[in-house]
Structure 1
Amino acid sequence: MTDMQRITLARRPKGDPVPEDFSLKTGPVPEPGDGEIVIEVSHLSLDPYMRGRMDDVKSYAPSVGLGETMTGQGVGRVIASKAEGFAVGDLATGMTGWASHAIVKATEARVLPAEIPSSLFLGALGMPGFTAWTGLRKFGRPKAGETLVVAAATGPVGAMVGQLAKAAGLRTIAIAGGPEKCRIATETFGFDAALDHRAYEDASALRTALAEVAPDGVDIYWENVGGKVLEAVLPLMNVGGRIPVCGMISWYGGVEDADDRLPMLWRSVLVKRLHVSGFIIFDHWDEYPEFLAEVPTKVLSGEIKHLEDVAQGLHAMPTAFIAMLKGGNTGKQIVAL
């Protein structure tokens, strides 16, 4: 392949993204400079945080500019290197963006072990798995006998959180979208109970059902979604409960319909003396080697289960991304090139 392809941001979405917000571009494969490598990408990750990067707002990371390549992590083979520690043929990962090839600074890339399937470093052994491991330990602070509720529980972050908590002796409750995902939550990932948030008309009805499966209240709520699920869970939190805030996917397209309920929700934080901890995993990469020393053997042995949804071809990125934001994936959403 003599040309590279990349998907750029054609316009900023208004609400949910649509295919017309993206554009496929073709050009020459780039040449590395000193301290850089070129990766020929084999697999790309799709993650909810990418929706926020499409908006021109101040955040923890820069927005994607119009005409720029969509941001994201990829894995693949090094095809050119002007950096120590990287040889042609090495398996490597970095923030390649939505592209078939990418220049990555050596300081922002990592050589990966060839004996482990590369897609795992985009899911269970990559940012999602590391996010779950870090957030639960640092901000969830689980104790045996406690109750944990996880939103988006069959996604790559939620599934890892549930399994790590279960191994630590907690009662684990999944909230997912649809009966099939609830079945997977209990049968594959070992949650003690699972609720289909789509089956309940409003937060009050979901809260009633959740109270039945969490009779001792909720000690840890892993926040992935916001919206109705957050509204349902907050009043059930025990005093001193912890809420690691990982994402708010239900509000990524706008929060107007939730504004009038936010004061009531925030009052629960006060009266329950809750510990609400927003965290960005990029602040914790120094602990990634510790994660790799502990978790891969558990994933490879099957002790920790994982699922992948794989779309084919770079052209499939926008469609798969749009579907993922609406809950269309079951496991980690990956695109194979």
Structure 2
Amino acid sequence: MISRHALNRATLDRQLLLRRHSMPALQAVEHLVGLQAQAPFPPYFGLWSRLDGFRPEELARLLEQREVVRIVLMRGTVHLVSAADGLTLRPLTQPLLTKYLLNAYGTVMASLDLDAVVATGRQVLAAGPLTGAQLGVRMAEHHPGAGATDLSQIMRMLVPLVQVPPRAVWGKAGQTAYATVESWLGREPHPAPSLDDLVLRYLAAFGPATVADAQAWSGLTRLREVFDRLRARLVVLEDEHGRELFDLPDAPRPGPGAPAPVRLLAPFDNLLLSHADRSRVISDDHRKRVITINGQVLGTVLVDGFVQGAWRRDKAVLTVDMFAPVTAGQAEEIRAEAAALLAFAEPGKAHDIRGI
């Protein structure tokens, strides 16, 4: 049986959060199977909380050199992933995206020749990246009677499109503009990616986990058959509720007593979004305070491995909102992490830490 605290420490270890690692940013992005990236800059803070000496210029350079991309993948959300993973993961998640599209645009799609719509979108984008609005308007010129917004959304869900720089480049600003993954990377998506490999990589980054956890992370269904196929290669554990959890035989499980330092997690951090049962890192009550009704996910404070507060930054001012009392030593550790985050985000400026 594996306890909740042991599960917590195992997950934090996989997530590179029990200590900061000396690891290239690209290697970390691949190990984590990407970072959720609806907003442009949370991935920078996600890597800062995990890597020793990480500088924003490293990730910005990877974006500009097309070694990492921003693309819709797991759960139908934008993720920052390596170029190789963008080409491999998008075909695996396409059934989910097609299902989302059918649910939202089924009536509209029924009146369209989807092959023709996709061909039009690809032709329009061949001239260079476009914003969603520009893409829709130009597609509508070829499909009279169809709404430009509808056409743009259909294209974005049926075709792997990447969000191109300067969007999400540290220190720069830019509208969201799209290019096809083939034109941007000069390579085609993987023709036959493996669901088995996807599950194994999930366990390496988020395990031990149940089938429901893997489905919550990916947005895919019917993964039970994948786990059953892999069962002989996995360790099978049982949690405090008698649920079956799967893990890699050689994956680290440091035990419930392993020290867990204070960490300030990025907004939208996948640690909080990648399990059906999130109690391994956050209570249900605290989750309601962190994930807002409009889908925002606040930056959070980990104390002894669990979410105990939230943080917000306004330039060089960082405000902490703790959900429960902490010791004097923990408060000092939170302030030190907050100061380090501000030094990372706003170097050379006077910093102000509030609420702790």
Q: TM-score, normalised by structure 1?
A: 0.29
Q: TM-score, normalised by structure 2?
A: 0.27
The answer to which structure has the higher strand fraction is 1
The higher relative CO (CA closer than 8 Å, separation ≥ 6) is in 2
Q: Which one has a bigger Cα radius of gyration? A: 2
